[in-house]
Structures are given as structure tokens and as C-alpha cells.
Structure 1
């Protein structure tokens, strides 16, 4: 077998093995969101609680949910929420935004983080599930 063919097969096999690890499950993320519900809400009837409502989080600048009193650290963080920023933040909020009011130890499990992002990011700014 030629080296280039063998290399291609190895790359294809590696990506097939890695793909399931990257899959996101919004339904599992919904269950994980139970950890967030004491402080946050999401969906059509979402309201600010101890933390801001999370509708339309994907693409929203940090510190911008209407009528929520954010910490200065959060307002000045310069973060626009996207998958990468969310995943880094949710692992350790105080490390990502020193001075944040968010008292949460974080989620360390990568699959749970992926699933939680899949759940949270599916909501538009009005709390409706985005059309695919």
C-alpha cells in the first residue's frame, strides 16, 4: 500500500473515531441546564433571576441582557458569547472573568459542556428554538 493511501486511511479512521466525541446533544444539555435554573432562565417566558436570562446568548455581548444589573467585570469583559467563549467560561467563570458575580464552581466534563452549549445556543433572543 502506498504511503499516501495509508496516511489518508489513518486520517479518515481518526476522524471517524473523534466525531462522536464532538457530538452535541441538546436534550442532554436540557438536563444539564437544571444546574443553571436556580439563577438563570431560558425560553419564551424567561426572566432575569439572580443571573440574567440566557435567550439569544450566541452572539450576544456579555453584560447586555436588558434590565439585569451586571458586575463591572462582566460589562467590561469584551466577551461576545459564542461556543468557544461559553465553553471556556462555564469551566471556571471566575477564571474567565475575574470579578464576576457568578458563583458557580463550573462544569469540567467536556461532553456535558458540549451538550449544555447545544441546548443554550438553540434559543433565539425571544426564547424560541431557532429554525434549522
Structure 2
């Protein structure tokens, strides 16, 4: 790589990412939003799996990669690597659209600001 960003990346930086929103994220608001997710997901390495896998070390992890959790073939074979854009997109369009056939129940977050805040919280809370 020559140190230059691809055109698509430059356009996203110039316009702001529609999946994440344009304002500064509020992780504390994201923490409040996460309460609905906490029924199925933990955030710590020792929290274990619930109806969904732990989200510990989520960012940069391929979908379907938590050892000991039985994923649907749809999610395991999705090719997704979780990053801020992928997590925001999941809640923008819903799991039934992004990963049809997966076990995650249909849920969307219509507000780009709420998605951005949730992603910011997850980024902080799931980091090693």
C-alpha cells in the first residue's frame, strides 16, 4: 500500500459514515441501550455464553468464532468480520436481512445516533 486511502474510504471520511452517524458517540448512552442485549450476550471473558455468544473481543473477530457456542450455519458461513460498520449495519437492517437463517431474533435500531452510541460502548466494553 502506498499510504493513500482508497477513494471509497475518502468519501466516507468526507461525508461521515451513514451506518455510524456523524456526531460524537456517547458510550454511556450505548451502555443503556445494551441492556436489551444483555439478556442474550455477556461482555466479559468469564461471562460465558447465553442464548447468544459472549461479545468479549468482538471487534476484529470473524462471525461464528467463539469456541463452545453453537452457531447457525448461516452466521458461521457469513464471512463477516465484526467491526464498527458491520455491527452498526446489523442493527440498521436487522439480522434476518444481514444474516438470513441465523438464530439472532429480529431487532433493528432505527436511530443512527443510537447505533453509533451502542457501537462505541461495545468497543470499550469488549476490548481486552
Partner secondary structure for residue 52 of structure 2: coil
Shift of 1:70: 0.3
Structure 1 residues 45-60: aligned runs within 5 Å = 45-60=46-61
Structure 1 residues 1-132: aligned runs within 5 Å = 21-91=22-92, 92-122=94-124, 123-124=126-127, 128=128
Aligned length: 107
Partner secondary structure for residue 70 of structure 2: coil
C-alpha distance in 1 between matches for 2:33 and 2:70: 25
Partner secondary structure for residue 99 of structure 1: coil
C-alpha distance in 2 between matches for 1:55 and 1:90: 18
List structure 1 segments (4+ residues) > 2 angstroms apart after TM superposition. Answer: none
Once the two structures are superposed, what CA deviation does each residue of 1:83-122 show, in whole Å capped at 9, x if it has no partner?
Answer: 1111111221110011110013221111110010001112
C-alpha distance in 2 between matches for 1:121 and 1:21: 17
Higher CA-based Rg: 1
C-alpha distance in 1 between matches for 2:59 and 2:53: 14
What is the CA RMSD across the aligned residues, in angstroms?
A: 1.7
Partner secondary structure for residue 104 of structure 1: coil
Shift of 1:66: 1.4
Question: TM-score when scaled to structure 1?
Answer: 0.75
C-alpha distance in 2 between matches for 1:22 and 1:57: 23
Shift of 1:21: 3.9
Once the two structures are superposed, what CA deviation does each residue of 1:40-70 show, in whole Å capped at 9, x if it has no partner?
Answer: 1113542100001001111000000111000
